[in-house]
Structure 1
Amino acid sequence: MLTKLEKAEKRWGGANKLVDQWLNHRRKLLIQYFIVAGLAPYSRAEKSLPTLEQVKNFCDQLVDYVSEGHFEVYNNVVKACEKFGESSIDTAKALLPQISDSTDAALDFNDKYTEAADEEILYQLDNDLSKLAQAMEARFELEDQLLEVLYNRHS
């Protein structure tokens, strides 16, 4: 996922301040994911679970990222596409509902772990992180398609 992010940053970085900020937030989210999942280069010395607090911090970043997309970035991209014709707006509007599927997965993950009072829930974390990673990877690909439409047709 980080390799794809680096490609996105090279492709669209510097084109728009909001997009730069959004890609930077994606990077921070991915780093936090690797920390919580205990993946290299953020592996824990001994195989142990993260703290519930670490997972809740990850959830905060996850919700911030998802919200930023829906309430800031997507609206601006769709508005930009509207200026350039029906095919652009149709493409953008076709991608947004697909992105929403991953929003549900992110919010479900957030609800499960931010409402948890008992650390026993962390035994389910690996499985839940795996499902979330699949949903978020699909989301990142769709978001990148949205940016590519804007970049290819309007740069």
Structure 2
Amino acid sequence: MLSRHEQATERWSGAHQVIDNWLQARQLLLIDYFKLAGLPPYESDHNVLPSTSELRDFCGLLVDYVSAGHFEVYDRLISSASELPKATHELTSRLFRLIAETTEVALDFNDSFGDLAPKAPLPGFDAALSQLGEALELRMEFEDELMQTLEQHQLLTAPSPAAE
């Protein structure tokens, strides 16, 4: 996930202010996810539950990220794409449906764990966190495909690589 995000940042950073803000939100979410999951480089004791503030902060970032995607990034960029070929509209529609499925996983996680005080075992937390990680990875794949499609139609101009 981190390498996908780094590649997306290298490719589309500076292309559009909305994209820059969204990529920054993606990075913050990934860092907190890796911390919460105890994934390298953030080692943790898997027997210790996250604090209430850690869970709330993470869920806040999660909801902000998925909301920004739907209500800022996708809508704004696609609304400027009225002249795209039918095949491209079909592709973006398919990607939106797939992204929406990952949104449901994120919102379910938030609903299940966002307001809990983790003083006792959280039933299903590890499985839900793992499922969320898989959904986030898929979401980033779909988002990057969407950005690449927009770039191909010159609706998103990525900076060219620096000449050496």
- The Cα of 1:152 is off from its aligned counterpart by 1.4
1:152 aligns with 2:155: no
- The Cα of 1:122 is off from its aligned counterpart by 3.2
1:105 aligns with 2:101: no
Unaligned runs of 5+ in 2: 158-164
8 Å CA contact 1:81–1:88 kept in 2: the answer is: no
- Runs of 4+ aligned residues of structure 1 deviating over 4 Å after TM superposition are none
- The Cα of 1:21 is off from its aligned counterpart by 1.0
Greater mean alpha carbon deviation, residues 145-154 or residues 49-58: 49-58
1:62 aligns with 2:62: yes
Q: Distance in 2 between matches of 1:25 and 1:78?
A: 20
- The Cα of 1:110 is off from its aligned counterpart by 0.2
Q: 1:124 matched to which residue of 2?
A: 124
Q: Which amino acid aligns with 1:38?
A: G
Q: Distance in 2 between matches of 1:47 and 1:151?
A: 45
- 1:43-54 to 2 correspondences below 5 Å: 43-44=43-44, 48-54=48-54
8 Å CA contact 2:98–2:142 kept in 1: the answer is: yes
Unaligned runs of 5+ in 1: none
Q: 1:130 to 1:149 in 2, by over 3 A?
A: same
Q: Whose RCO is larger (CA < 8 A, sep 6+)?
A: 2
Q: Deviation digits for residues 78-105 of structure 1, max 9, x if unmatched?
A: 1132243333323212211111001110
Q: 1:77 matched to which residue of 2?
A: 77
**Aligned-residue CA RMSD in angstroms?**
1.8
Identity of counterpart residues, as a percentage?
39
Q: Which amino acid aligns with 1:119?
A: K
For residue 150 of structure 1, give the secondary structure of its aligned residue in structure 2.
helix
For residue 81 of structure 1, give the secondary structure of its aligned residue in structure 2.
coil
Greater mean alpha carbon deviation, residues 42-51 or residues 19-28: 42-51
Q: 1:14 matched to which residue of 2?
A: 14
Q: Distance in 2 between matches of 1:21 and 1:136?
A: 18
Q: Deviation digits for residues 45-68 of structure 1, max 9, x if unmatched?
A: 785222122111100100000100
> Per residue, is there more helix in 1 or in 2?
1
TM norm structure 1:
0.90
